[in-house]
Chains A and B, each alone.
Chain A
Amino acid sequence: MSLQTLTYQKDKKQFLVLGVLTLSLFVVLILSLSMGAFSIPASKVLYVILDALGLPAGEFSKQESSVLLGIRLPRVLLALMVGGGLGLSGAALQGLFRNPLVEPGLIGVSSGGALFAVVFIVFGNSLPFLGYFGAAGLPLFAFLGGLLNTFLVYKLASQSGKTDISLLILAGVALNALSGALIGLAIFYADDAALRNFTFWSLGDVGGANWQKVGVCFMFILGPIGLILSQYRQLNALAIGENEAFHMGVNVQMVKYILLFCSALIVGTAVSLTGTIGFVGLIVPHLIRLLYGADHKLVLPASFLLGGVLLSLADILARTLVAPAELPIGIITAIIGAPFFIWLIINFKKIRT
């Protein structure tokens, strides 16, 4: 067999995988738009969307249109972007740390976000200047906290222009512990309402989505997503080792910088808009690698797509299982994700051989 046919076969496989994932994402989106406390048939969903794009295709009621465009579409888009962003940054950070056990929280972004969020929730009423921000205060604070923590972790691990990856992990662990302790301290002073608020925030929620949030999400996430996707060659080279990547002409420090800060932006935005949603960033890249191999040319975009699919599915379950009430989405991702992951580990060898 010649090399050309091999490369061709691989390209074809990657194309196929990405195609199937895109298709399933599309199906899940339609499904997610139609299901919920107020159910809308899939055909009507299409009509409403086409109509909103200026292509009238069929009849639908005013109520259907307002539920869909005002409530459900922003929610579905938010779940898609956050899930995709978490999956992608998980893949990028696992590649950067050369460790399949890394998840985005490791660089401190989630705990920093949570710390600032709990401070805002608990002390928001007693600190008057926090009131200026209104409804945007919580996400803004969480975002800043996430970035601040990541910046500290990065600074702690960097010396004379070089970042030591094992120091980075240690610094992340240390700052996560510190943030956890401070969160505990804030909770100690919290009243019942604040406690309940924070608990639900920390379990993750895409329910409060509106077009404003979707706009913010696109604004902060799209650029970093594109940048991370462009680094697939460098990540492949990094997989054999930092020195090896350097010998192959990769500017390793630049790659570290890009991946860390793009991931921090994505996860920081995600945490600030939807709270901490665990597990997606850890298992999605794993799944892709187990099933299709480790080439980042595929792993990166496929992790984005699969992350979007999984979080959208989790969102469907979150709002249908106990309808009309809603489960926090973070519970769903962990309750379904963890056992599935265990099953995957048990069957790991069978799948690969």
Chain B
Amino acid sequence: MLQANDIHFCIQNRPIVDRASMVLRPGELTVILGPNGAGKSSLFKVLSGEQVCKDGRVSYNGRPLDQFKNRQLAQVRSVMPQHSSLNFPFSVLEVVELGLLPLGKNYGVDLLQEVMKQTQTWELRDCLYGNLSGGEKQRVQLARVLTQIWEKKPFPRYLLLDEPTSSMDIALQHHVLSIIQKIKERNIGVLAILHDLNLAANYADQVILMKKGNILFQGKAESVMNTENLMQVFDHPIKVYQGDERRPTIIQSIPFKSINNQIKQA
């Protein structure tokens, strides 16, 4: 279990994350949602160990974050940041290969090929990373971080994704979420920051709603993501059409135009 207690993170005495506690269970997809500046990415960085916070503690499988060496941590969790730029002419294969770094020599011969086929990056293997489109770059980075934790291990592991689908088209977004569904089954807990409410509602096991540095709601997607909560978090009229076995949940944000029209009619 990835556990965060009382995370308090300030920049120049302004609290960015204010006393946040959360739990990420292996085998589940937890999605963090919230408006810009809610502190999602900061919380994410504290969880991954990239930012150290003075107050509060993070532990992986019961062991505090600061007791891990970088290499050990890399074997327990894999992180995909929002943007990764590359100034040198690396090929796609070389970028994905970097995911092998923390594994030493303990990996199967087909690991890279399997991951790259799953993420539809195998065809791109000889291309230069710099020449790819935004969505392709994200797929390559996803392949890299998946490589790091792809093979089964006897202990629970975690995958942290900061807006992994932000530049992808609709089909690819669903493709990535279905890969995440698969990787969950390997005793891996996945944490993703998403902006698409519909993806979150239909794929997440647990949803965390953040606003102004606080976690306002935390729980099962269907109970947390209701019209009232979402409107409170995003300060915008939103309508949730709860789905069931046969139909997906649909969440609609209402354009100002139609609100104005409604007011006029009334």
How far apart are B228's CB and chain A's nearest CB, in angstroms? 37
Q: Are A249 and B75 in touch, CB under 8 angstroms?
A: yes
Q: Is A193 an interface residue, CB under 8 A from the partner?
A: no
How far apart are B89's CB and chain A's nearest CB, in angstroms? 5
Given A4-B109, A249-B70, residue A99 in contact with residue B90 (CB < 8 A): no
5 interchain residue pairs of minimum CB distance: A249-B74, A294-B88, A249-B102, A249-B71, A247-B79
How far apart are A9's CB and chain B's nearest CB, in angstroms? 11
Known: A246-B70, A249-B102. 11 other contacts (CB 8 A): A100-B88, A236-B94, A241-B85, A243-B81, A244-B79, A247-B79, A248-B148, A249-B73, A289-B89, A293-B91, A295-B94
Residues of A within 8 A of B48 (CB): 247
6 contacts between A and B (CB under 8 A): A3-B112, A237-B101, A243-B81, A248-B102, A250-B70, A293-B94
Q: Are B81 and A244 in touch, CB under 8 angstroms?
A: yes
Residue of A nearest to B94 (CB): A295
Residues of A within 8 A of B128 (CB): 352
How far apart are A6's CB and chain B's nearest CB, in angstroms? 7
Segment 60-92 of B: residues with Cβ below 8 Å from A: 70-75, 77-79, 81, 84-91
* Complex partner residue of A239 from B49, B81, B88, B125, CB under 8 angstroms: B88
Q: Are A247 and B74 in touch, CB under 8 angstroms?
A: yes
Q: Is B98 an interface residue, CB under 8 A from the partner?
A: yes
Q: Is A233 an interface residue, CB under 8 A from the partner?
A: yes
Q: Is B99 an interface residue, CB under 8 A from the partner?
A: yes
* Complex partner residue of A246 from B50, B84, B144, CB under 8 angstroms: B50
Q: Is A251 an interface residue, CB under 8 A from the partner?
A: yes
Segment 99-139 of B: residues with Cβ below 8 Å from A: 99, 101-102, 109-110, 112-113, 125, 128
- Chain A interface extent, by class: 20 to 34
Q: Are A99 and B87 in touch, CB under 8 angstroms?
A: yes
Q: Are B81 and A294 in touch, CB under 8 angstroms?
A: no
How far apart are B151's CB and chain A's nearest CB, in angstroms? 15
Q: Is A98 an interface residue, CB under 8 A from the partner?
A: yes
Question: Which residue numbers of B lie inside 8 Å of A, CB to CB?
Answer: 48-50, 70-75, 77-79, 81, 84-91, 93-95, 98-99, 101-102, 109-110, 112-113, 125, 128, 144-145, 148
Distance of A230 Cα from B49 Cα, bound (Å):
26
Residues of A within 8 A of B84 (CB): 240-241, 244
Residue of B nearest to A234 (CB): B101
Total A-B pairs, Cβ < 8 A:
84
Distance of A98 Cα from B84 Cα, bound (Å):
12
Q: Are B81 and A233 in touch, CB under 8 angstroms?
A: no
Given A98-B87, A244-B81, A293-B89, residue A6 in contact with residue B94 (CB < 8 A): no
Residues of A within 8 A of B89 (CB): 289-290, 293-294, 352
Residues of A within 8 A of B90 (CB): 236, 239, 293-295
Q: Is A2 an interface residue, CB under 8 A from the partner?
A: yes
Q: Are A237 and B98 in touch, CB under 8 angstroms?
A: yes
Given A3-B112, A250-B70, residue A240 in contact with residue B98 (CB < 8 A): yes
Q: Are B86 and A239 in touch, CB under 8 angstroms?
A: yes
Residues of B within 8 A of A249 (CB): 70-75, 101-102
* Complex partner residue of B74 from A233, A241, A248, CB under 8 angstroms: A248
Residue of B nearest to A94 (CB): B88
Residue of B nearest to A290 (CB): B89
Q: Are A236 and B98 in touch, CB under 8 angstroms?
A: yes
- Residue of A98, A99, A240, A248 ringed by the most chain B CB atoms within 10 A: A248
Residues of A within 8 A of B81 (CB): 241, 243-244, 247
Distance of A294 Cα from B102 Cα, bound (Å):
20
Segment 192-226 of A: residues with Cβ below 8 Å from B: none
Given A3-B109, A6-B93, A241-B85, residue A250 in contact with residue B101 (CB < 8 A): yes
